[in-house]
Structure 1
Amino acid sequence: MTEAFDPDGIEQAVFVVGERHATLDEPWRAYRRARLIYVSEGVLTVRTASGRWVVPPARALWIAANTLHCLHATRPVQSYSLYVATDAAMDATDDSAAADSADSADSADSADSADSADSAAPLPAQTGALIPDTLVQALLAAAADLPHDHTPDEPARRLLQVLLDRVAGLPAAPLGLNWPGDPRARRIAEALSANPAQSLVLEELAAAAGVTARTAARLFAKETGQTFGQWRQQLRLLAALEHLGAGESVTQVALEVGYNDVSSFIAVFRDAFGDTPARYFR
């Protein structure tokens, strides 16, 4: 796939594209389509105006339609992008496919099909990280081999519909961080993002940003849904995922994200992600 690739220029309502990059610095883009990015190898960092996500292997990020976003990876990364037209959220088939289905099925089967579509779970409405199961992973890989320059045949349509049905039910993953919009809080966030290990307390960070600590604490709670301490800890954990994905040792990563006690880092990481740093990428 070239840099000029535009998913909105594809007529097919639902399709999957596989990509592999030695490094990645995809510019800010927004599509009319929703986009699911599944990472099979490497670590992908995704930014939007209001959030940051770090996506390790076997995890995915759903990006709502018309959301400006950019992708970044410092090491090799392999991913699959599922693109979904907003009017295809409940059905991977187009009008011609529906007509073909009607011609080949009796009225009872058509009614059953309609009932099934009506009861299908909706696709996510908001951008967020997800945990794909092994079936979704296999369906994405299979769908990436399908052509997307013409109307899919019946087996392809069924595969894509099953994929959409499965994506709709995937559980969320704690891999994101809400980004403050207020310029004062954003200055603090950017300073910490540039150096997660820095030990400055909120009073010092707030003073450098031209705001009182009390106001800064209020802004973080209002705009991110977390206390400043909770937000800072999540920022460090996401930075840790990036470093671990680059092959760095647990001890080195703990120090780089601001933990002098490696045991404390391991405990916090396990509480957040359900496994120790040493086992997470195995």
Structure 2
Amino acid sequence: MAHTPRSSDHRDYQRVPRVVTAMARDEAHGASVAPHHHERAQLLYATEGLMRVQTDAGVWILPPRRALWIPPGVVHHWSSLSKVTMRTIYVEANAAKAYGDNCRVIEVSPLLRELILALLDEPIEYPLPGRGEHLAMLILSELAAAETVPIAIPWPRDRRLVAVCTAIMADPGSSRNIEQWADEVGASARTLIRLFPKETGLHYRQWVQQVHLAEAFGRLAQGHSVGAIAAALGYASPSAFSAMFRRILGKTPQHYLTEWRSPLTLHPA
């Protein structure tokens, strides 16, 4: 039986009398959505494509198999870095309290992906009790078990630091050091060194490494080789880049490259 086309307007999902709702939306490369917030929490997720998401607190690059948990009321905006097939869910605010009040990147398991897709086959206001309700409860269970991926780019407020961070995001492979950035924005290197942990919670090199990790995930998802990524990000060798990657994430980039080139399945070998 054919379903009535689902709305692709997020506002139509905020007051549906269901704990979990799911929305499908496809976007072209370069699409963007202005700053906004939701009454519900959102798991911002795309089965294909790359998204960049920003709040006042940080920036995240989301490839497939990664999703961003956005608590209710958090103002955010996003843009597509490629063609995107968004398959996102909204969680009622009271139920969302169990999953934290900070934005965080989670690993989307094959099961969670399939549950989200299955819920999209149900009516927006699915019958209670019924299959949709069971899918929703399983989605909440998978969210509770989901692994948090420690990739976030904290965003500063100081205008000098914003200028530096914006330039680094635009050219993450830049070889400029903090003294050169200081000259460019009219501050001393000592001032920038002090501002980075004060404004972002990270020292300069740690912040740059988070940018490199986010950029690497995006390039890995696009099928770039580890050697090409290391060169683009200014590392002396692929092994130097891989060592940084593994030190922070506990896995090598080769692990993710192999995983993302493999077909997604509920029962991976």
**What's the offset of the Cα at 1:173?**
0.5
Provide the residue aligned with 2:111 in structure 1: 135
Q: How does 1:158-173 map to 2 (within 5 A)?
A: 158-173=134-149
Q: Distance in 2 between matches of 1:7 and 1:268?
A: 43
Q: Which has more radius of gyration?
A: 1
How high is the sequence identity, in percent, across the aligned residues? 30
Matches within 5 A, 1:50-89: 50-89=57-96
Distance in 2 (CA, whole Å) between partners of 1:210 and 1:3 is 45
Q: Distance in 1 between matches of 2:189 and 2:182?
A: 5
- Give how far 1:56 is off: 2.0
| 1:25 alignment counterpart | 31
Please give the TM-score of this superposition, normalised by the length of structure 2.
0.83
Distance in 2 separating the partners of 1:270 and 1:181:
30
How far apart, CA to CA, are the structure 2 residues paired with 1:203 and 1:265? 23
Residue 256, structure 1, aligned to residue 232, structure 2: yes
Distance 1:207 1:3 in 2: 46
Cα distance, 1:9 vs structure 2 = 5.2
- Compare 43-52 and 15-24 and name the one that shifted more: 15-24
Residue 99 of structure 2 aligns to a residue whose secondary structure is coil
| SS of match in other structure, 1:54 | strand
- Provide, for residues 24-62 of structure 1, a one-character-per-residue CA deviation record: whole Å limited to 9, x for no partner: 523122112110023322322211121111122222110
- Change in Cα spacing, 1:25 to 1:12, as seen in structure 2 (3 Å) is farther
TM-score with structure 1 setting the length: 0.79
* Maintained 8 Å contact 2:41/2:96: no
Q: Compute the displacement of 1:87 (Å).
A: 3.2
**Equivalent runs, 1:39-188 vs 2, <5 Å:** 39-89=46-96, 122-148=98-124, 150=125, 152-155=127-130, 156-188=132-164
Say what the alpha-carbon RMSD is for the aligned residues: 2.3
Residue 227 (structure 1) aligned with residue 203 (structure 2): yes
Deviation at 1:10, TM superposition (A): 4.2
Alignment equivalent of 1:276, drawn from 245, 253, 268: 253
Residue 11 of structure 1 aligns to which amino acid in structure 2? Answer: V
What is the 5 A alignment of 1:8-23?
A: 10-13=15-18, 14-23=20-29
Question: Whole-Å Cα distance in 1 between the matches of residues 175 and 87 of structure 2?
Answer: 38
Consecutive unaligned residues in structure 1, runs of 5 or more: 91-121
What number of residue pairs does the alignment pair up? Answer: 250
Q: Is the 8 A contact 1:46 1:72 kept in 2?
A: yes
Query: Are the equivalent residues in 1 in contact too, given 2:119–2:136 (CA < 8 A)?
Result: yes
Residue 126 (structure 1) shift: 1.0
Aligned-pair distance for 1:129? 0.5
- Tell me: CA distance 1:67–1:184, structure 2 relative to 1, closer, same or farther (3 Å): same
